[in-house]
Structure 1
Amino acid sequence: MSTHEAVDALRELGLSNYEARVFVALQRLGGGTAQDVARTSEVPRSQVYGAADDLAVRGLVEVVESSPKEYRPVSLDRARAQLRERIESQHDRAFENLEAVHGERDAHADESDVATLHGSDTIRDRTADLAADADDEVILVGARAGDLRPDLVAALEERADDGVEVTVVTADPETAKRLADGVRVVVSPASGDDGYVGRTLVVDDATVLLSVPARDDAEPYDEVAMWTANTSIGRILVRYVHAGMQAGLDAED
């Protein structure tokens, strides 16, 4: 790794440009005065003092009170531990604040809220979360055995154990083997690519998620989806999904 790459990497870990350059210079020198560091790092000597003192506050540099003052870097193992601790602390603080404001979003929800999602992993996360919140009914259309991540399987089976009516409509016979007996599995060719496109999730009477494969020439994602929860639009879509699913199953009889 070049000096430039090392500086860039340290900046991504939260150091300023001068701090990163001074720290890299000290690692190369093993220690030195502000003049030594300035010569190696190309940081103005007047700026080395402040950057080195800030690094000392971070626990990355030791200050030798000599004349002139000298600076020594801590070991790489110690530096790694210090930076990791700082990142984890910032991570915890950020998410504590996010959790504090998380509940405020419901107060601002609108009856016409519709959200979009991009990427299979994000869509599958939301699918599992919505299914886990079901009170009366879950319908999952178009799922294949390979789509059933453990968190979704657990959500479907837990809801079924709690008395929620859980139905999975699929064109893949292997899907039934992934689910417990409490989950109703309907194997129907109509739920494949020639019938339902993508996947559909219905939760209770007003929550719907609809996903489709993304066109390679239109999106940089493998899958896109829209979802709405407990809204008037959701109630309308639930009726369409029920009607469309029933029509597809009736056509097979």
Structure 2
Amino acid sequence: MDSAELRTALRNAGLSQYQAEAYVALLQLGAASATELADACAVPTARIYDVLRDLEANGYIETYEQDSLHARACNPESVMEDLKARATQLDEAASEIETRWQQPSVDRHMLSIVKRFETVFNRAEELIRNATSEVQVSVTSEQFESLRPALTQAFDNGALVKVSLHPERGGQLEELSEKTYEGVATEVRHRTLPTPFVALVDRTGACFAPHAHSVNQYGVLVDDYTMTYVFHWYFQTALWEVWDVVYSTQTDEPPIVYSDIRNFVQDAKPLLGNGNRIVTNIIGYETESREPIEFTGEVTDLHYTAISEPEGSLSFSKLAGQVCITVETDDGTYSVGGWGAVLEDVEANRITIEVIS
């Protein structure tokens, strides 16, 4: 490092231009009078005395009288410690800037756009661990393994965990044994095409990121009931409904648990059509007061709007309009809707068939 670079470094460390000029010159001279020092550097003679007093106050030099004011550089140990401390602080600041750029903190905005997939993944993991109602994820096998502890926690919390597995681009989806999913997922389906990363949690949290080979790399974090519903429809129609089931804890015998009223209606319609009696337990919220509610009663009617009367089984897309059920209890009759219910008495978060007779 030459003298000019040293002066620049000292200015970056907080010295003024004149202070840096005087200090570097004094290091070379060892000791000098004020006028000699002014002649040896670019500091005007009229300013040299103020510059020397400031340098002495900062511990860089010491002055003494010898016919006239003289100065010499102090032991540089304290100066070196100060510069090293500044360097460490700047290095830490650089690392912190990089960290904050890569992984910005997630605030409580309804919608956040982030740059890094890691931010999306970490947020999804956090939400999943605290899930109590339902988790829907679209992941690769590797991502599934990374999320396994969080998914296990959600499963233990009582949440219904739905996993849509897809391969990496150009890869094949690995066939895993059923034991892989035990205690982790309620149902698993295989999709054969690469798919964005999606995680939907308890109807209010959504995390989305394009697949790794997408042209644009970004992430979307949602903390909003209505916007998450849009991602729910994407998950159900594109990532779930049409793909093969490879694992399920669900059986044909009660109790049979549903988190979506449309899936319940798909199964209940043929049962009722064959003259069966269905008793269900409903857990949800009163649509007007948003107060929690739970009751058990007999399903007496199914209602759904469709463009035409479906033939055969009901697909999820055929149930895109209003869907509700009527449940008769000892305390009265309730109309029950699903996610986003407005016209019904109750929005159901969970419907459990307890009796089929």
- Structure 1 length-normalised TM: 0.58
Q: Distance in 1 between matches of 2:10 and 2:188?
A: 52
One-letter amino acid of the structure 1 residue matched with residue 184 of structure 2: V
Written as runs of structure 1 = structure 2, the 5 A alignment for 1:42-121 is 48-49=51-52, 52=55, 56=58, 61-66=59-64, 67-72=69-74, 73-74=76-77, 78-79=81-82, 82-83=85-86, 106=108, 109=109, 113-121=110-118
What is the Cα deviation at residue 228 of structure 1?
0.8
Q: Which of 11, 15, 18 is the aligned partner of 2:16?
A: 18
Distance 1:180 1:170, change over 3 A: closer
Q: What's the counterpart of residue 168 of structure 1?
A: 163
Q: 1:17 to 1:181 in 2, by over 3 A?
A: farther
Which whole-Å CA distance do the structure 1 matches of 2:39 and 2:232 have between them?
Answer: 67
Post-superposition offset of 1:224: 1.4
Q: Which residue number in structure 2 is paired with residue 95 of structure 1?
A: none
Gaps of 5+ in 1: 92-101
The equivalent residue for 2:136 is: 139
- CA contact 1:7–1:17 (8 Å) conserved in 2: no
Compared with structure 1, are the counterparts of its residues 204 and 83 closer, same or farther at alpha carbon in structure 2 (3 Å cutoff)?
Answer: same
Give the secondary-structure state (helix, strand or coil) at the position aligned to 1:138.
strand
Q: State the one-letter code of the partner of 1:120.
A: F
Name the Cα RMSD after superposition: 5.0
- The answer for the alignment partner of 2:311 in structure 1 is none
Please say if residues 125 and 150 of structure 2, whose CA atoms lie closer than 8 Å, have aligned partners that are also in contact: yes
Tell me the alpha carbon deviations over residues 106-147 of structure 1, each in whole angstroms, 9 at most, x when there is no partner. 4xx5xxx322121333333333333334332222203331x4
Larger relative contact order, structure 1 or 2 (CA cutoff 8 Å, min sep 6): 1
- 2:150 match: 155
Please state which structure has a larger fraction of its residues in helix.
1
Aligned residues: 216
Alpha carbons of structure 1 residues 169 and 239: separation in structure 2 relative to 1, 3 Å = same
CA distance in 2, matches of 1:214, 1:38: 64
Identity %, equivalent residues? 15
1:189–1:215 Cα change, 3 Å: closer
1:198-238 Cα distance to aligned partner (Å, 9 max, x none): 2111111122122114778x65xxx2122211332122322
| Paired residues for 1:180-219 under 5 Å | 181-184=182-185, 186=188, 188-190=190-192, 192-193=193-194, 197-213=195-211, 219=216
How far residue 85 of structure 1 moved from its aligned partner, in angstroms, is 7.5
For 1:201, give the aligned amino acid. A
* Alpha carbons 2:205, 2:224 under 8 Å: kept: yes
* Structure 2 counterpart of 1:158, one-letter code: Q
Q: Does 1:233 align with 2:227?
A: yes
Distance 1:129 1:53, change over 3 A: farther
Q: 1 CA distance for matches of 2:151 and 2:230?
A: 23
Q: Between Structure 1 and Structure 2, which shows a larger proportion of strand residues?
A: 2
> What residue in structure 2 maps to residue 123 of structure 1?
120
